[in-house]
Chains A and B, each alone.
Chain A
Amino acid sequence: MSKTPSMNAIAIRTEGLTRDFKTVRAVDALTLDVPAGIIFGFLGPNGSGKTTTIRLLLGLLEPSAGRAEVLGHDTRNQADAIRARTGALLEHHGLYERLSAEDNLDFYARVWRLPDAARAARIKELLGPVGLYDRRREIVGNWSRGMKQKLAVARTLLHRPALVFLDEPTAGLDPIAAAELREQLALLAAREGVTVFLTTHNLAEAEKLCHRVGVIRQGRLIAVGSPDELRRGSARPHVDVIGRGFGEAALTALRGRPEVAGVEVQDGALSIDLRETVEVAPLVSLLVQHGAQVEEVRKGQASLEDVFLTLMEEEQK
Chain B
Amino acid sequence: MIADVWTVARKEFKEILAMGGGRRGWIGQLFFLGVFGILLPAQSGRAWVESPLLLVSWGWLPFLLAVQVVADSFAGERERHTLETLLASRLPDRAILFGKLAAVVGYACGATWLALAAGIVTVNVVAGQGRLLFYPPLTFAGILAFSLLGSGLAASAGVLVSLRAATARQAAQSMSLVMLLLFSPVFIFGFLPPEIQARVFGRLTQIDLTQAALLAFGVLLVLNAVFIAAALARFQRARLILD
Given that A60-B237, A61-B238 are known contacts, is A111 also in contact with B90, CB under 8 Å in the complex? Answer: yes
Report Cα–Cα, A60/B91, bound state, in Å. Answer: 13
Give the distance to chain A from B82, nearest Cβ to Cβ, in Å. Answer: 5
Q: Is there contact, CB below 8 Å, between A111 and B4?
A: yes
Report Cα–Cα, A258/B94, bound state, in Å. Answer: 68
Q: Is there contact, CB below 8 Å, between A103 and B90?
A: no
Q: Is there contact, CB below 8 Å, between B15 and A99?
A: yes
Report A-chain residues with C-beta under 8 Å of the C-beta of B233: none
- Chain B residue at minimal CB-CB distance from A86: B88
Q: Judge whether B52 is part of the interface by a CB distance below 8 angstroms.
A: no
Q: Judge whether B80 is part of the interface by a CB distance below 8 angstroms.
A: yes
Majority DSSP secondary structure for residues of B touching A: helix
Q: Is there contact, CB below 8 Å, between A80 and B87?
A: no
Majority DSSP secondary structure for residues of A touching B: loop
Q: Judge whether A299 is part of the interface by a CB distance below 8 angstroms.
A: no
Residues of A44-62 at the interface with B, using a CB-CB cut-off of 8 Å, are: 55, 58-62
Given that A96-B11, A97-B80, A98-B19 are known contacts, is A111 also in contact with B89, CB under 8 Å in the complex? Answer: yes
- Chain A residue at minimal CB-CB distance from B93: A80
Q: Judge whether A178 is part of the interface by a CB distance below 8 angstroms.
A: no
Q: Judge whether A91 is part of the interface by a CB distance below 8 angstroms.
A: yes
Q: Judge whether B7 is part of the interface by a CB distance below 8 angstroms.
A: yes
Q: Is there contact, CB below 8 Å, between A60 and B88?
A: yes
Q: Is there contact, CB below 8 Å, between B11 and A107?
A: yes
Report A-chain residues with C-beta under 8 Å of the C-beta of B90: 80, 83-84, 111-112
Report A-chain residues with C-beta under 8 Å of the C-beta of B15: 96, 98-99
Residue-by-residue, is B212-243 near A (CB-CB < 8 Å gives 1, otherwise 0)? Answer: 00000000000000000000000001100110
CB within 8 A of A60: which of B21, B22, B241?
A: B241
Q: Is there contact, CB below 8 Å, between A94 and B81?
A: yes
Report B-chain residues with C-beta under 8 Å of the C-beta of A139: 22
Report B-chain residues with C-beta under 8 Å of the C-beta of A171: none
Q: Judge whether A186 is part of the interface by a CB distance below 8 angstroms.
A: no
Give the distance to chain B from A102, nearest Cβ to Cβ, in Å. Answer: 11
Residue-by-residue, is A80-117 near B (CB-CB < 8 Å gives 1, otherwise 0)? Answer: 10011000111111111111000100011011110000
Give the distance to chain B from A109, nearest Cβ to Cβ, in Å. Answer: 9
Q: Judge whether B84 is part of the interface by a CB distance below 8 angstroms.
A: yes
Residues of B121-142 at the interface with A, using a CB-CB cut-off of 8 Å, are: none
Report B-chain residues with C-beta under 8 Å of the C-beta of A92: 81-82, 84-85
Q: Is there contact, CB below 8 Å, between B241 and A111?
A: no
| Range class of the B interface residue count | 20 to 34
Given that A90-B85, A96-B15, A96-B82 are known contacts, is A107 also in contact with B7, CB under 8 Å in the complex? Answer: yes
Q: Which of A84, A93, A98, A165 neighbours the largest number of chain B CB atoms within 10 Å of its CB?
A: A98
Report Cα–Cα, A89/B238, bound state, in Å. Answer: 18
- Chain A residue at minimal CB-CB distance from B87: A60
Q: Judge whether B3 is part of the interface by a CB distance below 8 angstroms.
A: yes
Q: Is there contact, CB below 8 Å, between B80 and A60?
A: no
Give the distance to chain A from B2, nearest Cβ to Cβ, in Å. Answer: 12
Q: Judge whether B200 is part of the interface by a CB distance below 8 angstroms.
A: no
- Chain B residue at minimal CB-CB distance from A92: B81
Give the distance to chain B from A141, nearest Cβ to Cβ, in Å. Answer: 9
- Chain A residue at minimal CB-CB distance from B16: A98
Report A-chain residues with C-beta under 8 Å of the C-beta of B84: 60, 90-92, 94
Report B-chain residues with C-beta under 8 Å of the C-beta of A91: 81, 84
Given that A55-B241, A108-B89, A111-B4 are known contacts, is A98 also in contact with B11, CB under 8 Å in the complex? Answer: no
Q: Is there contact, CB below 8 Å, between A110 and B92?
A: no
Q: Judge whether B86 is part of the interface by a CB distance below 8 angstroms.
A: yes
Q: Is there contact, CB below 8 Å, between A98 and B89?
A: no
CB within 8 A of B18: which of A60, A89, A95, A98?
A: A98
CB within 8 A of B14: which of A60, A84, A103, A165?
A: A103
Q: Judge whether B164 is part of the interface by a CB distance below 8 angstroms.
A: no
Q: Judge whether B10 is part of the interface by a CB distance below 8 angstroms.
A: yes
Give the distance to chain A from B151, nearest Cβ to Cβ, in Å. Answer: 22
- Chain A residue at minimal CB-CB distance from B88: A88
Residues of B2-39 at the interface with A, using a CB-CB cut-off of 8 Å, are: 3-4, 7, 10-11, 14-15, 18-19, 21-22
23 A-B residue pairings within 8 Å (CB atoms): A55-B241, A60-B88, A60-B237, A80-B92, A88-B85, A88-B88, A90-B84, A91-B84, A94-B86, A96-B15, A96-B80, A96-B82, A97-B80, A98-B15, A98-B19, A107-B7, A107-B10, A107-B11, A108-B89, A110-B10, A111-B4, A112-B89, A139-B22
Beyond contacts A55-B241, A98-B15, A139-B22: 13 other A-B pairs, Cβ-Cβ < 8 A, are A60-B84, A60-B87, A60-B238, A84-B90, A88-B85, A90-B84, A90-B85, A96-B82, A98-B19, A98-B22, A99-B11, A110-B10, A111-B91
Which residues of A are at the interface with B, using a C-beta cutoff of 8 A?
Answer: 55, 58-62, 80, 83-84, 88-99, 103, 107-108, 110-113, 139, 165
Which residues of B are at the interface with A, using a C-beta cutoff of 8 A?
Answer: 3-4, 7, 10-11, 14-15, 18-19, 21-22, 80-82, 84-92, 237-238, 241-242
